Structure 1
Amino acid sequence: MSLRQTSSNSKFPAKTHARKVADELGVDNGLIYLPGQLESTWEDSDMGPSFRQRRYFYYLTGADFAGCAVTYDMNLLLWFGTTPTPAKCLEKADLDEVKYVSDLPKYLISKLATVQQLYVLRESQMPKLGSLGVLTPQVRVDTTSLLPAISEARVVKTDYEIAMIRIACAVSSKAHHDVCARFLYFKNECEIEATFSASCIASNSHAQSYPVIAGSGTNAGTLHYDSNNEPLEGRQVVVLDAGAERNCYASDITRTLPIGGKFTREGKASTTFLQLHAHMVAANGLLHLGILHNGSAREIFANGTTAAFFPHVLGHHVGLEVHDVPGREKLMLQADGLPSVVRRSKRTPITPGILQAMIKDAAGVYGGPFTGRRELDAGMVVTIEPGIYFCREYIEASFLKKPEHAKYINREVLEKYWGVGGVRIEDCILVTGEGHENISSAAPKGERMLNIINRR
């Protein structure tokens, strides 16, 4: 496969995506209207941020440029834009018709005279009809149904979407390999970021799914560290969390690399049990290291104390967003009476209280197991990303100062691990009818990663 090519000769499946949305809406009459993103400039400047298309709009069009809109009347998918030409747009995406955006108001007025329902994502995206008129009284405007319908449709990916995520993972895996191959020469975090980004651009993936995270030492304990400007000298590991986009589809891969090409005793111990998962595994591993004591793994787990070292969710959906929409149900257990504890990313902290509530939910206290949790279906792409972190400020403030947690934490042993900062290993997993496939397995890890770093 050439990473410089899109590797998909098929058109963007706009009609397939539109039909999925219509099925989720459960209607056969009405008009969907979605505007694309406009170009913008910074205040007092003729320059602006890099263009980023609205993902819900892209899902129905495959159009990644500014000044566009799309309509779908449950039978006809019509796309409006400025550049490239309508003929070129029809070549790239499976659409019924493409017109210039100047024709949009006139088309909407005529179409809205024949339908009774207009679906928009939110009130701020209502169509602007200008001087041609206003909505007739018989047209009902629905600003609440479309967002959950498209979100649900996006959860299970089409073949085209899976192909794009595969390419993004392949590009990112090669970039992780290139970092490993040069790792012993790096002196600063910025060199890691530069090498990863350059490799992706050389593979014709110019956009990153999220800012590159290249955190060394204590910076590795910050989940979304992105300064990437500190020296590596005197530190133990680097957490490299980075993934490229391909045609707006994301990847998300994390590896933990030993500075100097060899893990320290503490760094190696921290990574030994990471490729398994969840808090019980963490509790057993931390007991083995002596960081936790004075209780069994189950007792410490039930107390929520493992959240000190594993304070984020185990995974999330991947698609048009790196932390993609979860649809109507969450991947994680969700306790009754609590807010939605996990939206779509690992940014939401898992506190001891949330962990305890999730345990109770799994045990059936709140109406049976799996309350509020989605089952995995073939075609979903999710991450698995266990991590162990030694963030001094967080652990001291939220755990060591609280007797109910402090009694289980061995301060003397923990002191040896502050310098590790944190470790995380993350892969993108495609759910299949037979099980699963790791589509980011080409990114080096374990013994293979060490062999590449040390040129063995």
Structure 2
Amino acid sequence: MKYSQINSKLFINNRKNFASKMKPNSLAVFNSNDIYPISADSTLPFQQHRDIFFLSGVDQEESILVLFPDCPKEKHREILFLRETNEHIAVWEGEKLTKEKAFEVSGIKTVYWLQDMEKIMFEIMTQCDTVYINTNEHYRSNVDVETREDRFTNWLKEKYPAHSVAKSNPILQRLRSVKNPIEIELIQHACNLTEKGFRRVLSFVKPGVMEYEIEAEYIHEFIRNRSKGFAYTPIVASGNNANVLHYIENNQQCNAGELILMDVGAEYANYSSDMTRTIPVSGKFNERQRAVYNAVNRVKKEATKMLVPGTLWEEYHIEVGKIMTSELLGLGLLDKADVQNENPEWPAYKKYLMHGTSHHMGLDTHDYGILTEPMQANMVFTVEPGIYIPDEGFGIRLEDDVVIQEKGEPFNLMKNIPIEADEIEDIMNS
């Protein structure tokens, strides 16, 4: 891994918290992701399943974590199953976790090779009543492929049909949404790498540059600072491309007088950052662009203040919509009749801001969190209002990542990343 080793206290604490939520005499199983094939012998780069990483720190394929807090045999209360490593694998694929290294990474003492999994599982399944299976219940989830986790679950339920089945996901949704101080440090580090990339781009952009060249500047800066790269597919959208919310082609020329909307973020140690900035290709906003830019920035600042413990996500977005409506009236994009005659299910402001303003962030860019439950301290949220005006050929979105505090305004993890229009212009013209 490119990243520095994470303190195993994080994973020990995460397992302790998960185990405390389990039913008596129950067992939970978590699998790594597959390495997904492309064609011939080509594969996609491996990405670890965030749940097994959250609970163990293990960041390699063909790994299984088992938690059985009430197991009669103490050494089987936490078990890692790993693919056995050897000299041949080390030569052809690189170093894999040894049992000793796995303990150092995870804090788990009992490590078996995968070849022993069925035998050990039979022993411990005879000792438990309930088995927790791990399903993906994220509100944005849309998965067509059968995952390694799915295959294991099917095998387990067929092999042991008499056991009660429980779900890990509701526990993980709550645990993963509230960040440990070590996690916040890792997210902060990812945000710091994003800052490095953005400052590099500010000195690079000029009329005639291609969107993909900007993308290349970011990835260069991220990788040279021990990131695997982007936390998600980057958006580098010049001119009217910014009005396509998930524009990822990044293949057009950036022309004088246009704006570029850049939704990019570095990952670090599997943790995400998520930034959006909109900058002028020529290094100077025109009067209209600046007016809309400042309106979006004002909405972002006011929306940020509302991210406090006890806030409900749905009510928060209603309040942000009221602030955005006021700004759109000031810009002449809406009039009073538009607001008076609006459909409550699709308010007038939605013509210019179609997406939500905030989402949980962490190991996943759209991280776990139950949206019907009140916000809590140490949750990390994005704040990302935008105004999109196809008729005028530009769209503006601004986005920071913030940590909810026990008292007061959230802490902005991106407070050092330039965002004020004057500062953007000063850096681009220095």
What interval of TM-score do these two structures reach, taking the shorter chain for normalisation? 0.7 to 0.9
The superposition leaves residues 272-306 of structure 1 with CA deviations (integer Å, 9 ceiling, x where unpaired) of 11123322222222222222224386775957111
1:140 to 131, 155, 163: 163
Distance in 2 of aligned mates of 1:245 and 1:9? 14
**RMSD (Å), alpha carbons:** 2.4
Does residue 248 in structure 1 map to residue 266 in structure 2? no
Does residue 54 in structure 1 map to residue 49 in structure 2? yes
Counterpart of 1:21? 18
Distance in 2 of aligned mates of 1:125 and 1:5? 29
In structure 1, what residue type is equivalent to 2:384? E
In structure 2, what residue type is equivalent to 1:268? R
Distance in 1 of aligned mates of 2:118 and 2:397? 51
Cα distance change of structure 1 residues 145 and 9 upon mapping to structure 2, 3 Å threshold = closer
Task: State how 1:377-416 maps to structure 2 within 5 Å.
Answer: 377-391=376-390, 415=391
Counterpart of 1:89? 102
Does the CA contact (< 8 Å) of 1:174 and 1:442 recur in 2? Answer: no
1:290 to 323, 328, 332: 332
Alignment: residue pair count: 374
Task: State how 1:434-449 maps to structure 2 within 5 Å.
Answer: 434-435=407-408, 436-446=410-420, 447-449=422-424
Query: Aligned residues: percent identity?
Result: 25
In structure 1, what residue type is equivalent to 2:131? L
Does the CA contact (< 8 Å) of 2:236 and 2:261 recur in 1? Answer: yes
Distance in 2 of aligned mates of 1:96 and 1:127? 28
TM-score (norm 2): 0.81
Distance in 1 of aligned mates of 2:426 and 2:154? 57
The superposition leaves residues 367-386 of structure 1 with CA deviations (integer Å, 9 ceiling, x where unpaired) of xxxxx3x3221111001111
The superposition leaves residues 315-364 of structure 1 with CA deviations (integer Å, 9 ceiling, x where unpaired) of 0000111001223xx1xxxxxxxxxxxxxxxxxxxxxxxxxxxxxxxxxx
Does residue 41 in structure 1 map to residue 37 in structure 2? yes
The superposition leaves residues 399-434 of structure 1 with CA deviations (integer Å, 9 ceiling, x where unpaired) of xxxxxxxxxxxxxxxx4x2x12x1011000011223
Counterpart of 1:118? 131
Cα distance change of structure 1 residues 69 and 5 upon mapping to structure 2, 3 Å threshold = closer
Distance in 1 of aligned mates of 2:358 and 2:224? 29
Distance in 1 of aligned mates of 2:428 and 2:207? 10
Structure 1's unaligned 5+ residue stretches are 331-371, 392-414
Counterpart of 1:214? 236
Does the CA contact (< 8 Å) of 1:287 and 1:297 recur in 2? Answer: no
Question: Deviation of residue 313 (structure 1)?
Answer: 0.5
Does the CA contact (< 8 Å) of 2:230 and 2:266 recur in 1? Answer: yes
Does the CA contact (< 8 Å) of 1:236 and 1:264 recur in 2? Answer: no
Counterpart of 2:321? 279
TM-score (norm 1): 0.77
The superposition leaves residues 191-215 of structure 1 with CA deviations (integer Å, 9 ceiling, x where unpaired) of 1101011110111102311111100
1:426 to 399, 405, 413: 399
Cα distance change of structure 1 residues 164 and 273 upon mapping to structure 2, 3 Å threshold = same
Question: Deviation of residue 38 (structure 1)?
Answer: 2.4
In structure 1, what residue type is equivalent to 2:61? A
Structure 2's unaligned 5+ residue stretches are 71-76, 84-95, 136-149, 300-319
Distance in 2 of aligned mates of 1:427 and 1:96? 40
Question: Deviation of residue 22 (structure 1)?
Answer: 2.9
Does residue 451 in structure 1 map to residue 419 in structure 2? no
In structure 2, what residue type is equivalent to 1:10? N
Question: Deviation of residue 12 (structure 1)?
Answer: 5.5
In structure 1, what residue type is equivalent to 2:412? N
Cα distance change of structure 1 residues 222 and 297 upon mapping to structure 2, 3 Å threshold = same
Does the CA contact (< 8 Å) of 1:214 and 1:226 recur in 2? Answer: yes
